[in-house]
Structure 1
Amino acid sequence: MEEPSAEGLDEEELLVRRHRKEKKELQAKIQSMKNAVPKNDKKRRKQLIDDVAKLEAEMEQKQREELEQLKLTSKESKIDSVAVNISNLVLENQLPRISKAQKRRDKKAALEKERKERIAEAEIENLSGARHIESEKLAQILAARQLEIKQIPSDGHCMYRAIEDQLQGQDCPLTVAALRSQAADYMQNHVEDFLPFLTNPNTGDLYTPEEFGKYCDDIINTAAWGGQLELRALSHILQTPIEIIQADSPPIVVGEEYHKKPLILVYMRHAYGLGEHYNSVTWLVNRATENCS
């Protein structure tokens, strides 16, 4: 019977196959040695037996060592393969290195989350306190003018968002980014009108030109809150008066020299525990219905 082709066999099967061939060749050699010694030559027959035993023992030891070496090599190869796979798995499962930009974004997101949580806590605390009283007073003031508050998110851009909302009703669409940019440009081009009103909170000294420049840069590039100075700049840019309604004081009008229909904002001192807040206004439902009839 013919042995199967060597193609497709693993190393151990090939080795066993070679060992069988070597044993056949050894048996043929032993038979040839036996045929060469006369049967009546006892001395040579005895030597033949010793030689045959030695040849068989040597072959058995050689083949056993080869088989053990193959198994050891195969085992080491498997261990190396597992180690490589584990190494690759570790590398695949390692978290990607976080870039500095991503770290900054994560930090900003964490701060924003913390700020919103503080706002939520402040809302609960103020439900029956100063905020509630202020809201009630403002509701009465606005209702007398057929107005009501339109809530604006407290994200540092509230004043600009409130103006953006008011401008939509005057067919003058400007985004928060555009309002910030134009306000900063106007202030930088009219330094003498704004610099005297800005002081360093740590020293009490007037802003230096460098500090004023940074202040204007922050208007454009950050969520810095807007106030009276920015309102003044925007009233000039828009050539429109801006009226700010408050709970405990008469309304303030910035840009009275202009004769357009004013933009109306609501200023709240106790809206949140984090400081001042601006909202927009809208017509009460019944007034809006009347205007449409």
Structure 2
Amino acid sequence: MAEVESAGDMLAKQHRKEKKDLQAKVQSMKNAVPKNDKKRRKQLAEDISKLETELNEKHEEELQLLKASCAGGEQEEEVVNGVASLALEGEEELNDAKQERGPSKAQKRRDKKAAAEKERESRIAEAEVENLSGLRHQEGLKLAQKLAARQLQIKEISSDGHCMYRAVEDQLAQNGLSLNLIELRAQTAQYIRAHADDFLPFLTNSTTGDLYTADEFQKYCCDIEDTAAWGGQLELRALTQVLRLPIEVIQADSPDIIIGEEFDKRPITLIYMRHAYGLGEHYNSVQRLKDASSDGGVV
């Protein structure tokens, strides 16, 4: 009986390796397809589902073959670990006794894993449906329509706490201007420090609701300069003064706004998204549609 279990263990080990190899292949396939290419991502999901189904069917077939090879009488030969041997005396009785006790631990593990795989596939399908009707998807559609009317499209910016500054950096680069993330943060903090009276009335302690103390204000400015603190409208206001040009912010469900209208120049353009990621708000940049003729500017 121990020999038969060894064969089952070998097969289980092989199956685990094949599933691990498939997971690595799936991850490689996902990395090769841009997240904003919805058509290819949809096809990717179908291809991955097909690969997983084929592997599960292969494993099930191999399990059935193993069971069949172990179901003979006393004189039936078995191949275990590559060595032929005769079935042991009384093995049939032992198998009957085992069946009376219920499924083996190995079978329970296989059943549990199969159930987990089925549940995972179900969750993936549900997520696809939810994504099509979800807030993120709807927001993306509305923004795409707004931008298409202006021959623009979203340019994805990484979600790392620096997204607003990275989007501004990208817009400046598209207009031939060079200020990097570190410089933008440093100059924003410096401007806010120098104009505390303009910003303090809008800064309150989230716990007490009181206006910032002098120490809290200094920490706020240091966080802008030295950390990945998220930027918002106050920082955009400071940036318009630093850059001496307006900043336009496009939103899905609200009118577009322009900060720094006092500067009579072409604005740089950011996209503000409320539902882009699990943490919520996010800024992206924009770029010309690939089939649109360039006019020398972003908008």
TM-score by length of 1: 0.56
In the alignment, the residues of structure 2 paired with residue 126 and residue 212 of structure 1 have an alpha-carbon distance, to the nearest angstrom, of 40
Cα distance, 1:290–1:225 mapped onto 2, change above 3 Å = closer
SS in 2 for 1:258: coil
Residue among 255, 263, 269 paired with 2:260: 255
User: Residue 123 of structure 1 contacts residue 272 of structure 1 at CA under 8 Å; is this kept in 2?
Assistant: no
Does 1:226 find its partner at 2:236?
Answer: no
Which residue matches 1:190? 195
Does 1:199 find its partner at 2:175?
Answer: no
Quote how far apart the aligned CAs of 1:259 are.
1.0
Which residue matches 2:248? 243
Deviations 1:202-248 (A, max 9, x none): 00001011101000000111100000000000000101000000000
Cα distance, 1:125–1:195 mapped onto 2, change above 3 Å = farther
Which residue matches 2:177? 172
Greater C-alpha radius of gyration: 1
Cα distance, 1:290–1:215 mapped onto 2, change above 3 Å = closer
Does 1:285 find its partner at 2:290?
Answer: yes
Which residue matches 2:147? 142
In the alignment, the residues of structure 1 paired with residue 269 and residue 139 of structure 2 have an alpha-carbon distance, to the nearest angstrom, of 18
Greater shift in the superposed pair: 282-291 or 241-250:
282-291
Does 1:266 find its partner at 2:271?
Answer: yes
Where do residues 1-293 of structure 1 align in structure 2 (5 Å cutoff)? 126=131, 128-288=133-293
Cα distance, 1:127–1:178 mapped onto 2, change above 3 Å = farther
Cα distance, 1:202–1:124 mapped onto 2, change above 3 Å = farther
Task: Kindly provide the amino acid, as one letter, of the partner of residue 290 in structure 2.
Answer: V
Cα distance, 1:160–1:289 mapped onto 2, change above 3 Å = closer
What's the % identity of the aligned pairs? 64
Aligned length: 171
Quote how far apart the aligned CAs of 1:288 are.
3.3
Task: Kindly provide the amino acid, as one letter, of the partner of residue 160 in structure 1.
Answer: Y
Cα distance, 1:260–1:209 mapped onto 2, change above 3 Å = same
Task: Kindly provide the amino acid, as one letter, of the partner of residue 139 in structure 2.
Answer: E
Which residue matches 1:31? none
Cα distance, 1:183–1:290 mapped onto 2, change above 3 Å = closer
Deviations 1:184-214 (A, max 9, x none): 0000000001010010000000101110100
Quote how far apart the aligned CAs of 1:275 are.
2.0
Q: What value does the CA root-mean-square deviation take over the aligned residues?
A: 2.0
Structure 1 unmatched ranges of 5 or more? 1-121
SS in 2 for 1:243: strand
Cα distance, 1:196–1:290 mapped onto 2, change above 3 Å = closer
Task: Kindly provide the amino acid, as one letter, of the partner of residue 163 in structure 1.
Answer: V
Structure 2 unmatched ranges of 5 or more? 1-126
Deviations 1:15-68 (A, max 9, x none): xxxxxxxxxxxxxxxxxxxxxxxxxxxxxxxxxxxxxxxxxxxxxxxxxxxxxx
Runs of 4+ in 1 over 2 A off after TM superposition: 122-128, 288-292
User: Residue 166 of structure 1 contacts residue 280 of structure 1 at CA under 8 Å; is this kept in 2?
Assistant: yes
Cα distance, 1:145–1:250 mapped onto 2, change above 3 Å = same
